[in-house]
Amino acid sequence: MCMALIVQKFGGSSVKDAERINNVADIVTSTYKEGNDVVVVVSAQGDTTDDLIEKAAEINDKPSKREMDMLLSSGEQISAALLAMAIERMGYPVVSLLGWQAGFDTTSDYGNARIKRVNATRIEQELDKRRIVVVTGFQGVNRFGDMTTLGRGGSDTSAVAIAAAMHADLCQIFTDVDGVYTADPRKIPGAIKLSSISYDEMLELATLGAQVLHNRSVEMAKKYNIELEVLSSLTRRKGTIVKEESNVEKMLISGVAKDDNIARISILGVPDKPGLAFKIFSRLAAKGINVDIILQSIGRNGTKDISFTVDKNKMDDAIALLQQNAEKWGASNIVSDDNVTKVSIVGAGMETHPGVAAEMFEALFSRNVNIQMISTSEIKISVLLNKADGDRAVEAIHEKFFGQ
């Protein structure tokens, strides 16, 4: 009498205390009662992951990544067991599983592992027994049999991976807001809830700083064509659907996002001749340093400047590498600034509408915000700003495109 296979993911705030866990147990068991197979993915309670990171720092300021994952994966274990106990107490059959028990094979990259495959045999066996299956998000096991984690916010990706591996009928991401908005609704009170958004736009928003979904979860949902619903575990209102085509809203811009995890590095006074960009960026790539916005000045008096942005946590590595090579490349100086932020607008509509960039820049000008760097693609425009201008900039841009 099984109606459907439903994957439901609950984030940290949805399981932060006993009351919230009981609320989640209510949602899960009512889905189960309707005759569905239910796989639940949970994150660590509240700020547990941050607290564990702090605890580690008290003991060792450079712990090995392996031990860090051993520690961080414990947060999700607590939530999974507690939720299973709540469901048990309500009288339903349930089992909780850790990442390795649920078949999450990952790469060995501790702290940022990628899911290679989900062997869902154990989950299937449990579902066949008509059990509700609670799985820890954010974690898996590598080829050495060691625990790995998927990167901050990675539980969303765990949920989508199960949905993809098991061909689930529905994948619901329950969080503390009732959908995807045109900007972070906690910061922009006028933000508008979207009834749907396309994978491509959601992927850009998530990558550009909208933390509501882990970007790799969106990438995977797109790849396997899994429709996602982002909704609140508290209001039970209809959420936002993330799917191939969002035909409901034909909006020019679907959202504004901000990313503070960024730093700018400039190599000044390098000779204006062929091959330097190649040398610089291939060395960075070889070190696994991802470069985002790149800006090169035109040559003047035989020299030029090259600036680019990297994730804040890669800044020191990037500077060290450049300094080692500065003399060889003929650079006069290397400067950096992590007091910056990146503000972006995303929208499939901008591809066919000229003038969107000008409107964004006008909004910034209206608040006297200076732009340091600009980058564009078919469906996004990003600007690098002084960090102190970030919130004002998002506000002004949101107001420009969506009104107050």
- Contact footprint for Mg ion (CB under 5 A): 11, 153
| CA–CA–CA angle 271, 276, 282 (5° rounding) | 155
Is 12 one of the binding residues for ligand ADP (CB under 6 A)? yes
Does 186 help bind ligand ADP (rule: CB under 6 A)? yes
The only residue of 7, 12, 13, 182 in contact with ligand ASP, by rule CB under 6 A: 12
**Which lies closer to ligand ADP via its Cβ, residue 172 or residue 307?**
172
The least CB distance from residue 151 to ligand ASP, in Å, is 8
Using the minimum distance from each CB to ligand ADP, give the nearer residue, 211 or 296. Answer: 211
Antiparallel, parallel or unpaired: β 170-175 and 5-10: parallel
Please give the residues from 31 up to 50 whose contact with ligand ASP meets the rule CB under 6 A.
Answer: 43-44, 49
Measured from each CB, the residue nearest to Mg ion is 153
> What distance in Å separates the CA atoms of residue 93 and residue 96, rounded to the nearest whole number?
11
N- to C-terminal Cα distance for the chain?
Answer: 49
Q: For ligand ADP, which residue of 67, 105, 169, 176 counts as binding (CB under 6 A)?
A: 176
The binder of ligand ADP chosen from 29, 31, 43, 198 (CB under 6 A): 43
Letter string b/e over residues 140-158, b meaning 16 or more CB atoms within 10 A of that residue's CB: bbbeeebbbbbebbbbbbb
139 binds ligand ASP (CB under 6 A): no
- Residue 142 binds which of Mg ion, ligand ASP, ligand ADP, none (CB < 5-8 A, kind-dependent): none
Long-range CB contact pairs, 122-130, < 8 A, 24+: 122/97, 123/39, 123/97, 123/162, 123/166, 124/166, 126/95, 126/97, 127/5, 127/37, 127/39, 129/93, 130/93
Token pair in block for residue 253? 């811009």
Q: Which is nearer to ligand ASP, 12 or 209 (CB)?
A: 12
- What does 263-321 look like in DSSP terms, one character per residue? EEEEEEEEESSTTHHHHHHHHHHHTT-----EEEPPPBTTEEEEEEEEEGGGHHHHHHH
Q: Which residue is nearest to ligand ASP (CB)?
A: 155
d(CA 204, CA 319): 27
Interface size with ligand ASP, residues (CB under 6 A): 12
* Binding residues for ligand ASP restricted to 268-307, rule: CB under 6 A: none
- Name which position in 69, 76, 126, 184 contacts ligand ADP (CB under 6 A): 184
Residue span binding ligand ASP (CB under 6 A) among the ranges 31-39, 148-156, 250-258, 285-293: 148-156
Site residues (CB under 6 A) for ligand ADP? 11-14, 43, 153, 175-177, 180-181, 183-186, 210-212, 255
